[in-house]
């Protein structure tokens, strides 16, 4: 096997994160998938929006780098983080850069810190032209989310600890971008064995709705034989 010195070849490794959350529309109706983007303040692509990220440190593992760069650029700490893909087309950047991309989830209504600069939320379905190949990366992350929601309880990463079945259905509809039949959805999720009904109810102008929680003994998504890891908090990364 031939070994090459990255410093000689000029190959750099970056770590970026596509982080999804949910936002309600005007009047509290409808939900859409959103993500935070960072405005670039230098070339290449100065002034364009891009995914939060940064360079991988020599002594740093990938998942810690994803959490660190996300905290440094946006101040956000995700509820779920998973490696998405490695993007390494030769012409994706003026210099030779391989990006290890993660995708992550934030609870509905997550807010950017008040001191966050050059960071803003965007509707994932209506993005402007982004820097580098980041539009393509977001499209791939959305595809992964839409596929994974069908066979895992990944939607919980976007929900508070307690929720109604109607709120859970709204999350699925926002991710899948289509309406779901309420009766069929209720039957499917109640038969999944992942939900635990509580004795608490959401009250309002309609009939009180029972609150549910997920069974915390079940992983958000099956990671196979890889060991589970606890995500570092924002404070731990400071």
Could you tell me if 186 and 194 are in contact, meaning their C-beta atoms sit under 8 angstroms apart? no
Q: What is the dihedral of CA 134, 104, 115, 22, to 10 degrees?
A: 90
Report the alpha-carbon distance of residue 81 to residue 83 in Å, rounded: 7
Q: What confidence score (pLDDT) does residue 30 get?
A: 81
| Cβ proximity of 90 and 96 under 8 Å | yes
Name the stretches of the chain with pLDDT < 50. Answer: 1-8, 234
User: Residue 182 CB: number of other CB atoms within 10 A?
Assistant: 11
Look at residue 5 in the predicted model and tell me its pLDDT: 44
Question: Model confidence over 105-139: pLDDT tens digits?
Answer: 999 888 888 778 899 999 999 999 999 999 999 99
- What pLDDT does residue 6 have? 45
Q: Are 17 and 5 in contact (CB under 8 A)?
A: no
Task: Check residue 206 and give its pLDDT.
Answer: 78
Going from N- to C-terminal start, the domains of the chain cover 6-148, 154-214
How many CA atoms are closer than 13 Å to the CA of 22, on its beta-carbon side? 25
Tell which residue, 161, 164, 162, 156, has the closest CA to residue 208: 164
Provide the pLDDT for residue 2.
38
Whole-angstrom Cα distance, residue 52 to residue 94?
19
Query: What pLDDT, in 10s, does the model give residues 30-46?
Result: 899 999 999 999 999 99
In angstroms, rounded to a whole number, what is the distance separating the alpha carbons of residues 150 and 152? Answer: 6
d(CA 162, CA 170): 14
In this prediction the pTM is 0.85
Closest Cα partner for 201 from 229, 166, 150?
A: 166
Which CATH architecture describes the domain 6-148?
Alpha-Beta Complex (3.90)
Task: Determine the pLDDT at residue 4.
Answer: 41
pLDDT at site 91: 92
Does residue 104 come out as left (phi exceeding 0), alpha (psi in the -120 to 50 range) or beta?
A: beta
SS3 146: helix
Domain 154-214, CATH class in plain words: mainly alpha
159-181 b/e (C-beta count within 10 Å ≥ 16 → b)? beeebebebbbbbbebbeeeeee
């Amino acid at each position: 096997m031939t070994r090459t010195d990255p410093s000689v070849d000029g190959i750099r490794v970056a770590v970026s994160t596509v982080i999804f959350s949910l936002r309600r529309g005007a009047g509290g109706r409808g939900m859409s998938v959103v993500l935070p983007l960072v405005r670039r303040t230098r070339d290449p692509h100065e002034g364009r929006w891009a995914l939060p990220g940064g360079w991988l440190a020599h002594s740093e593992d990938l998942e810690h780098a994803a959490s660190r760069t996300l905290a440094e650029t946006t101040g956000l700490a995700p509820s779920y983080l998973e490696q998405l893909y490695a993007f390494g087309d030769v012409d994706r950047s003026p210099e030779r850069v391989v990006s290890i991309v993660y995708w992550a989830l934030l609870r509905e209504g997550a807010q950017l810190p008040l001191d966050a600069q050059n960071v803003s939320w965007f509707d994932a379905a209506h993005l402007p032209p982004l820097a580098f190949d980041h539009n393509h990366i977001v499209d791939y992350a959305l595809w992964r989310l839409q596929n994974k929601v069908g066979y895992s309880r990944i939607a919980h990463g976007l929900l508070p600890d307690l929720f109604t079945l109607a709120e859970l259905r709204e999350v699925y509809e926002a991710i899948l971008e289509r309406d779901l039949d309420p009766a069929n959805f209720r039957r499917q999720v109640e038969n999944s064995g992942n939900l635990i009904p509580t004795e608490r109810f959401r009250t309002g102008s309609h009939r009180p709705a029972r609150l549910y929680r997920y069974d915390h003994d079940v992983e958000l998504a099956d990671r196979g034989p890889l060991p589970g890891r606890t995500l570092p908090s924002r404070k731990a990364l400071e």
